[in-house]
Structure 1
Amino acid sequence: MPSHPDLQGAIGSVAASLAAVRARITRAAEQSGRSPDAVRLVLATKTVPPERILEAVEAGQVHLAENRVQEGRAKAVALADRPIRWSMIGHLQTNKVKDALRFVDEVQSLDRLTLAKTLDGYLQRLGRPLDVLVQVNTSGEATKYGLPPHDVLPFLRELRAFASLRIRGFMTLGRFTPDVDEVRRCFRLLRTVRDAAREAMPCGEALQELSMGMSGDFEAAIAEGATIVRVGQAVFGRRPLPDSYFWPTTGTPHR
């Protein structure tokens, strides 16, 4: 995945780095003939302590995202008095669903029916709906989570059985490579999947979201139609653990 030289500078003022990222989003959107308001910035807060997250919140950031339920819930408790909307962007195990629903407003990593059934069961008892995105594996890497593109339409048809789930669109991870064209191919494929689903599914107009692009490639994602970008290191600085710790690229993903 392409890197960006601004990452090193992000370890200073969170507010300044956040403003710089917002400016880059604006430029990328305008260069693509789109309104900057059409792109939602979600800050990935994995490994970031609550006091540093608070700097972003005080600078006006509302949308935050976590990869791991335990870490996310602890931060949500610490920041409970703030107007935050939390998303789950990491692989969600069914035995973590109950705890996840204590703080998340959105799940961007729905990729299997067992998870959909578990989410819906808890949501029915809670009496509330949940916005979800279907995760699609656009890179073709067997070690990544997400549905193959050809399985998306059958999966969406099965999801109609789960009334508590509001399907809003799709999420993907671009291939981890410095080849920008290869990364953009992943993003274009997700847009193609979304457009096909909107035509094929009843109420397909609700399938608007494309969550794609992170710190190293969010401008390319915006050029390809991203409506949500998930940025962490460009705002908070480099993490002590590599991306592979959170997004496995070797071995077999644990389902």
Structure 2
Amino acid sequence: MTDSGAREAELATNLARVEQRVTRACAAAGRARSEVTLVVVSKTYPAEDVRLLAGLGVREFAENRDQEAAEKAAACADLTLRWHFVGQLQTNKTRSVVEYADYVHSVDRIKLVDALSAAVRRRSRPSLNCLIQVALEKDSGWGEGRGGAAPEGVGELAAAVAEAPGLRLAGLMTVAPLSGPYANSPSAAFARLIEISRDLRVTAPAATMVSAGMSADLEEAIGAGATHVRVGSAVLGVRPTLG
């Protein structure tokens, strides 16, 4: 078997295992499998892996670094894929990101909303789907933590996205927090995100996406009601150490 053939077989095996996990989690939660979209996080892995996974039926891919994402999207431009940008985004990268991203999961401040809107209008492209990143470690006045808006700031940020030309408010995203009231409790964290999503949909009924759960906690996310799970290492393998 060629190296490419061996890698394809490895990816197929990993993908089947993840698919089984997702299917079981949906069944346990009383949800249809069609309610959950698997997004494969391909960061640090080559475009060839994206091509192999596309051949196995994967259509949704995520990246967290603009340069890598731009190069990979260009290398796979002949494929029908959806690209999700999931990393912290600097305003000076927005022009590049809107060239390839269908979704930005990490909208966390008004300045970024304005920059994305300007970049989309400059390109005259179809609207960009935006998710507000919620930092649950900031709930109830806890510490700063990683990127993301505090839960109490979601409403204001959502209104800004909804009003920004060229942007579409798609929903919410979170990462299970390492600190604060939901540390080491992904089920509680994701349940809290669903509460925030329900509140948001009162004024923004189309904002139905809930992006939560990764390789280690996708079952908890699906159980809570996530619509999109972002899985990397469980499909692609342990990531190489970055120097």
Match of 2:190 in 1: 187
Question: Following the alignment from structure 2 to structure 1, what is the Cα–Cα distance between the partners of residues 214 and 31?
Answer: 19
Residues 11 and 55 (structure 1), Cα distance of their counterparts in 2 relative to 1, 3 Å cut = closer
Question: Following the alignment from structure 1 to structure 2, what is the Cα–Cα distance between the partners of residues 188 and 241?
Answer: 33
Q: How much has 1:79 moved relative to structure 2? A: 1.2
Question: Following the alignment from structure 1 to structure 2, what is the Cα–Cα distance between the partners of residues 241 and 187?
Answer: 29
Q: How much has 1:50 moved relative to structure 2? A: 1.3
Using the aligned pairs only, state the percent identity.
35
Q: How much has 1:125 moved relative to structure 2? A: 2.3
The yes-or-no answer on 1:63 pairing with 2:41 is no
Match of 2:40 in 1: 43
The yes-or-no answer on 1:139 pairing with 2:130 is no
Match of 1:117 in 2: 114
Give the counterpart letter for 1:232 in structure 2: G
Query: Could you say what the CA RMSD is over the residues aligned between the two structures, in angstroms?
Result: 2.1
Match of 2:175 in 1: 173
> Comparing both structures, which one devotes a greater share of its residues to helix?
2
Give the counterpart letter for 2:161 in structure 1: L
Question: Following the alignment from structure 2 to structure 1, what is the Cα–Cα distance between the partners of residues 220 and 77?
Answer: 34
Question: Following the alignment from structure 1 to structure 2, what is the Cα–Cα distance between the partners of residues 86 and 27?
Answer: 26
The yes-or-no answer on 1:95 pairing with 2:98 is no
Q: How much has 1:17 moved relative to structure 2? A: 0.8
Larger deviation, residues 132-141 vs 188-197: 132-141
Match of 1:28 in 2: 25
Name the count of aligned residue pairs: 230
Q: How much has 1:12 moved relative to structure 2? A: 6.5
Question: Following the alignment from structure 1 to structure 2, what is the Cα–Cα distance between the partners of residues 190 and 11?
Answer: 35
Asked if the contact 1:136/1:171 (under 8 Å) is kept, the reply is yes
Give the counterpart letter for 2:127 in structure 1: P
Which of residues 127, 130, 138 is equivalent to 1:129?
127
Residues 57 and 17 (structure 1), Cα distance of their counterparts in 2 relative to 1, 3 Å cut = same
Asked if the contact 1:62/1:83 (under 8 Å) is kept, the reply is yes
Match of 1:54 in 2: 51
Asked if the contact 2:39/2:61 (under 8 Å) is kept, the reply is yes
Deviation beyond 6 Å, 4+ runs, structure 1: none
Aligned to 1:167, the other structure's residue is in SS state strand
Asked if the contact 2:132/2:172 (under 8 Å) is kept, the reply is yes
> 1:163-194 CA deviation, whole Å, 9 max, x = no partner?
211101100000249x9961111111111111
Match of 2:164 in 1: 162
Question: Following the alignment from structure 1 to structure 2, what is the Cα–Cα distance between the partners of residues 63 and 84?
Answer: 6
Q: How much has 1:134 moved relative to structure 2? A: 0.4
Asked if the contact 2:162/2:169 (under 8 Å) is kept, the reply is no
Residues 143 and 11 (structure 1), Cα distance of their counterparts in 2 relative to 1, 3 Å cut = farther
Aligned to 1:18, the other structure's residue is in SS state helix
Higher relative contact order structure (alpha carbons within 8 Å, sequence separation ≥ 6) = 1
Runs of 5+ unmatched residues, structure 1: 1-9, 246-255
